[in-house]
């Protein structure tokens, strides 16, 4: 079975971002002891990094296969809210992409997964993101990291922009709308999970529905948008 190189610190960060990586008993403990104790103690000491690594790799491989057809060799990718970057590692290995990451550089004390209009919740660490990418074979020349709160955002033109379970799933697309419209080319593709797919029919000429999550609280759809 394939897996990523993932130490305990990265495994903890991964389950903050993808709660489905947790074991059923850890999810139960989270409900019993609360979000703060989960984020600071349970998610660090009651996990097996090797198991998390394999589960995370399999999850990212499934995500890759769902959207692979929208990418091409050497394309320029912008990733917003990537997590620790497992999907982007696969893109680099299989398609030799160049990827720019836009992230918030802190982990909230209480991990909340609901809608956040003010874009204040965050689940990432840019140092650990860079460490994960390099440890898993991505060369530094193939990626750039941008702190949403501290850095000037890149104004390159991107071939594909991806934001899985982040933009318009946890926080409002309007936060990025003006910026994204400037960095999208006429033939660019925007891939995201959204709780309001009809909204994007007003912004783009063509919308592909990649998948629907009907069993989740958000009832979201993953869409690919293009003009």
Looking at residue 119, its pLDDT comes to: 59
Report the Cα 133 to chain-centroid distance in Å: 14
Q: What is the pTM (predicted TM-score) of this model?
A: 0.89
Closest CA to 77 of 65, 64, 63, 91: 91
Mean pLDDT for 191-204 is 91
Q: Which residues face 145 on adjacent strands?
A: 101
pLDDT at 116 over 60: no
pLDDT digits (tens, 9 = 90+) for 23-67: 788 778 777 777 777 777 777 778 889 999 999 999 999 999 999
Domains of the chain: residue spans and CATH? 69-226 (3.40.50.150)
pLDDT band at 115 (very low <50, low <70, confident <90, very high): low
Q: What distances in angstroms separate CA 23 from CA 37, 119, 122, one per listed residue? A: 16, 28, 22
Query: How far apart are alpha carbons 13 and 49 in whole angstroms?
Result: 11
**Rounded percentage of the chain residues whose pLDDT exceeds 90:** 59
What percentage of residues in the chain have a pLDDT greater than 70?
Answer: 89
Flag whether pLDDT at 118 surpasses 70.
no
Name the average pLDDT for the chain: 87
Decide: helix, strand or coil at residue 129: helix
Report the half-sphere exposure of 170 (CA within 13 A, side-chain side): 17
**Separation between Cα atoms, residue 78 and residue 190, nearest integer Å:** 9
The C-alpha atoms of residue 24 and residue 74 are separated, in whole angstroms, by: 40
76-112 pLDDT tens trace = 999 999 999 999 999 999 999 999 999 988 776 655 5
Query: Do the beta carbons of residue 129 and residue 88 sit within 8 Å?
Result: no
The rounded distance, in Å, linking the Cα atoms of 84 and 10 is: 8
Q: How confident is the model at residue 1 (pLDDT cuts 50, 70, 90)?
A: very low
Confidence of residue 126 (pLDDT cuts 50, 70, 90): very high
Task: Specify the pLDDT at position 168.
Answer: 87
Structure-block tokens of residue 204: 């783009």
């Amino acid at each position: 079975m394939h897996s990523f190189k993932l130490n305990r610190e990265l495994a903890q960060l991964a389950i903050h971002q993808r709660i489905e990586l947790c074991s059923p008993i850890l999810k139960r403990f989270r409900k019993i002891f609360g979000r703060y104790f989960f984020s600071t103690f349970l998610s660090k000491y009651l996990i097996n990094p090797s198991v998390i690594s394999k589960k995370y790799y399999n999850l990212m491989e499934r995500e890759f296969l769902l959207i692979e057809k929208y990418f091409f060799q050497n394309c320029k990718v912008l990733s917003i809210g990537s997590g620790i970057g497992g999907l982007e590692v696969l893109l680099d290995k299989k398609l030799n992409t160049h990827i720019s990451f836009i992230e918030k550089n802190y982990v909230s004390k209480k991990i909340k997964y609901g809608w956040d209009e003010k874009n204040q919740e965050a689940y990432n660490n840019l140092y650990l993101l860079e460490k994960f990418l390099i440890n898993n074979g991505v060369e530094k020349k193939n990626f750039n990291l941008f702190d949403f709160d501290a850095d000037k955002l890149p104004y390159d033109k991107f071939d594909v922009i991806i934001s899985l379970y982040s933009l318009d799933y946890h926080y409002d697309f309007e936060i990025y709308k003006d910026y994204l419209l400037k960095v999208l080319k006429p033939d660019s593709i925007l891939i995201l999970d959204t709780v309001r797919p009809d909204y994007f029919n007003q912004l783009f000429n063509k919308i592909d529905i990649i998948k629907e999550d009907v069993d989740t609280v958000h009832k979201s759809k993953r869409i690919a948008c293009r003009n």
